[in-house]
Structure 1
Amino acid sequence: MGFLSALGRVLFAFFFLFSAWQEFNAFGVDGGPIAKVYGTKVDFLKDRATSYLGVEVPAVEIKHVVAAGIALKGVGGILFILGSSVGAYLLLLHLVIITPVLHDFANYSNPEFLRVFTQDLALFGTLLFFLGMKNSIHIRQSKKRSPKSKKN
């Protein structure tokens, strides 16, 4: 069972690690092609937040956003392979930020956005399942009584 669990973590984390590797290789000086995609979405969110809040939202450099995404996926993926809850939380943080921003299917008619949005929801659910199982194992183990020594 331990081997299958480790293999499953490696295969699951490969999704994030491969994506981070591709973005890292294409990063360049300006953040790469993903920066152009992020740029339009971040500008849209900035304009929307400014109109709702009535306060100017500070500018964010897109290449820093891309670098943070690469770091979350890379470090989170490696820690997840090692079985760390921190890795799962980093991947959850990445999905919470990226999913509604990049895959905003409600504002676009392209069915690809809905497909990728539901894929991210499945990944999110898998990470929650992993964290729930990890926590339940620790709770079960802490409830077991330690053998008491008999007194003569």
Structure 2
Amino acid sequence: MGFFSFMGRVLFASIFILSAWQMFNEFGVDGGPTATELAPKVSHFRELIGSKLGVNLPEIQIKQLVATSTAIKGIGGVLFVFGSSFGAYLLLIHLLCATPFLYDFYNYHPAQPEFSSLLHEFLQNVALFGALLFFIGMKNSLPRRQIKKKAPKSKTV
């Protein structure tokens, strides 16, 4: 059972590790294509929050955001392979922060062609989030091995 559990974690984490590796290779001077795709979405988010709350949010450095996302995915994925709950928490944080920005299906009308593909990717990330929650729940519910103390022998007279 241990081998299959390890292989499952490797296959699951490969999504994040390979994505982080690709983002690292494409990073370049400007943050790569991920930064180009993310910049208008973050700008739209800043304007939306600023108009709703009446405050100006600080400027967000897209290149730094992409580098942080790459590091969290890579480190979290590698730690998750070895069964670390901390790695699962890192991946949860990444999914929680990145999914609403990257897959903003709610900004499109259902008749638009982008809507269905963004909704599909959004739901896929929600499923990954659920799988990570399941992993953490199972990890916390398993009793840890306790060292058995030998019962003291009664002395005979």
TM-score normalised by length of structure 2: 0.90
Query: How far did residue 65 of structure 1 move?
Result: 0.5
The one of 129, 135, 152 aligned to 1:130: 135
Runs of at least 4 residues off by over 6 Å: none
Name the amino acid aligned to 2:133. L
Larger radius of gyration: 2
Residue 141 of structure 1 pairs with residue 141 of structure 2: no
Deviation string, structure 1 residues 53-77 (Cα, Å, up to 9, x no partner):
1111110110001001101100000
* Structure 2 residue runs without a partner (length 5+): none
> 2:122 is paired with a residue of what secondary structure?
helix
Q: How does 1:94-133 map to 2 (within 5 A)?
A: 94-108=94-108, 109=112, 110=114, 111-133=116-138
Query: How far did residue 151 of structure 1 move?
Result: 3.3
Distance 1:56 1:136 in 2: 44
Distance 1:16 1:63 in 2: 19
Q: How does 1:14-93 map to 2 (within 5 A)?
A: 14-93=14-93
Name the amino acid aligned to 1:141. R
Distance 1:30 1:67 in 2: 11
TM-score normalised by length of structure 1: 0.93
Distance 1:60 1:29 in 2: 17
Distance 1:43 1:7 in 2: 40
* Structure 1 residue runs without a partner (length 5+): none
Deviation string, structure 1 residues 27-67 (Cα, Å, up to 9, x no partner):
00000011011101100010011111111111011000100
Distance 2:77 2:144 in 1: 26
Distance 1:49 1:146 in 2: 56
Query: How far did residue 148 of structure 1 move?
Result: 4.6
> 1:117 is paired with a residue of what secondary structure?
helix
**Aligned sequence identity (%):** 53
